[in-house]
A and B are shown apart, each in its own frame.
Chain A
Amino acid sequence: MPFRERSAWIMSAALFLGGLFYFRAVLSAWSESGELVSPGISPILAYTGVLVVLAVVGHIVAAALAPKDADAPVDERERQIFNRAGHYSSYVIAAGIVMSLGLYVLSSSGDLLFYTVFASLLVGQIVEYLFQILFYRASV
């Protein structure tokens, strides 16, 4: 498996686990208080910490397994893969943002807007990595 495909697996898993960690905390606080809690800085910092640790550790292991591959610059095929994956994931982000805005119009909740936009960005980024994996396997 190419290093950058491995990197895409690591990042999608790290984002998924980080997102799971964050939104479990949000949902738990919601069920405890009975209403949607305002976004705080501590869960975001915890999410960032989880993401950074998983990404750094994952990449250290992946680079140790294939140091030459990890050191090689991105080539023309990989650039195409990244561009296409970014292109398709942008539709996912845009759809999520539009839905978030629609929800805001209906609910007038700035807190809900924050969470749905955050989730859209998170899902969009995961989808981008999944498209990278797909295109690595199918080539371009």
Chain B
Amino acid sequence: MARKPPITNCVRELREQHGAMTQAELGDAIGVTRQTVIAIEQNRYSPSLESAFRIARLFGVGLEDVFSWGE
């Protein structure tokens, strides 16, 4: 349960590049809570495919520009 998923991401960097968007704003934009955004950024939670696409589309990048296999 506490095992970290092998997927890493650069959501925090993308958020900071996009006008220092807050975690709450990102959460509102993709339909998750701020706590879930925090968990995603800390690699403690892998979002669903739908949320992953929402994040990528929001930042105008491809899915693999946001998420990568961390091993």
Spell out A's residues near B (CB within 8 Å): 2, 69, 72, 75-78, 84, 134-136, 138-140
Contacts and interface: CB of A to CB of B under 8 A. Distances in A.
Contacts of A84: 1
Given A76-B47, A84-B1, 14 more contacts: A2-B35, A75-B31, A75-B36, A76-B36, A76-B48, A77-B32, A77-B35, A77-B36, A77-B45, A77-B47, A138-B44, A139-B2, A139-B44, A140-B45
Given A76-B51, A77-B39, A138-B2, A2 B44 contact: no
A78 to B, nearest CB: 7
Give the interface size bracket for B toward A.
Answer: 10 to 19
A76 B32 contact: yes
Interface in B6-27: none
Q: Do most interface residues of chain B lie in helix, strand or loop, or is the interface mixed?
A: loop
A4 to B, nearest CB: 9
10 closest cross-chain pairs (CB), A and B: A139-B44, A75-B32, A138-B2, A77-B36, A139-B39, A2-B35, A139-B45, A76-B48, A75-B33, A75-B36
Contacts of A139: 2, 39, 42, 44-45
Contact of A72 (B1, B33, B42, B48): B33
